[in-house]
Chains A and B, each alone.
Chain A
Amino acid sequence: MKTRTKFVIGGAVILAVIVALSVQELQKMTVFFYTPAEVLASPAEFEEKTIRIGALVEQGSVDWNAQAIQLSFNITEDGENSINVIYAGVKPDLFREGQGVVVEGKMNGPRFEARQLLVKHSEEYTIETDHKKSKEEYYKSIMSQ
């Protein structure tokens, strides 16, 4: 095979992958995640389907069962439409109440069984006023783990 033919074939394969990815992803990525309100509004549509839901972790709803390694919490965006999420796995480092999360999984009745739990971190960055102390405490917390 001539070198040139090889390059043409290689280029065609890459181009095909690009087009396939774009078409497939452009459809999906407009809805990378649904909101709880959208899911609750039409439960029949989302039943038995693997979906992602993005919202905030509701204050005071987190229940961590260390024995069973099971995490249960409610997610909501507006405080009214809330969904209970069950996740069998450890808590991510940045997981806390009020934090934005994206969960992937299926609805099972009124509950959402998450297969994956992603933390959506904010674009806002802050520092403690007492730098030296916070730095020392941070390193100490890492060492003790």
Chain B
Amino acid sequence: MDKMKKIIIYLEWGSILGLTFCVIWIFLILPIESSQGFPQKIMYLHVPTFIATYLAFFVVFAFSIAYLWKRDLMFDQIAKVSAEVGLIFCALLLVTGAIWGRPTWGTYWVWDARLTTTLLLFLIFMGYFLLRMSVSDRDKEARLASVLGIIGCLDIPIIHKSVEWWRTLHQPSTLFKVESGKASPSIPQELLNPLLASIIVILVFYLYLLILRFQSEKRKEELNQLITETQF
């Protein structure tokens, strides 16, 4: 237990110092991007947020399958807390996207494929928690939630490919751009480095939230166990 506490403190300070470092780098040192100007800086929050969202829901996907396979409630707990953190990041993704869209596109929101499928992911996982709350039997809850979790995560590849499959207002991916079989992000190194740094920091932050939430979830279940035991 003490070891876990230590890891949490490391992750906590890692995210605090990392975020401070990135903010200083992005706002005080980085040059201004030529076509968009200052609004481009929200990219350093928007892009890491979408990567954290992808990762969080990939964890949901993997641990939902693991639960259905092994029927170990711990896997379900991990899927649940990752979905919670993922939902927060997804909300942040929609909000930062809207803030970025206003000065560049001229609108907060359009119903194009990228934005609509992202909103869909958000709504699916709102439903996921409603489903969890509505089932009182713990095993049944885990089973149903795992199935919905797996189906919901299938939206992730659709979101990612939406800008290539359909005509959208949202631009194609900068970071994962592939030219003649080779990865070639269309952004100068000087702007790319802080982006990679912020991605790492946000992923550390995700891990911190995940572990913290997992600990509290575990204790809650232990407490529930004790309550049911003492009642009889």
Contact = CB atoms under 8 A, between A and B. Distances in A.
Interface of A: 4, 7-8, 10-11, 14-15, 17-18, 21-22, 25, 28-33, 54, 92-94, 102, 116-128, 131, 134-135, 138, 142
Given A7-B134, A29-B166, A31-B167, A127 B104 contact: no
A32 B38 contact: no
Interface in B32-53: 32-38, 40
A121 B172 contact: no
B215 interface: no
A10 B130 contact: yes
A22 B118 CA distance: 12
Contacts of A4: 134, 136
A11 B131 contact: yes
Contact of B38 (A102, A126, A138): A138
Chain B contact residues: helix, strand, loop or mixed:
loop
A127 B130 contact: no
A32 B167 contact: yes
Nearest to B113: A29
B107 interface: yes
B188 A125 contact: yes
B191 interface: yes
A65 to B, nearest CB: 19
Contacts of A14: 123, 126-127, 130
B123 A123 contact: no
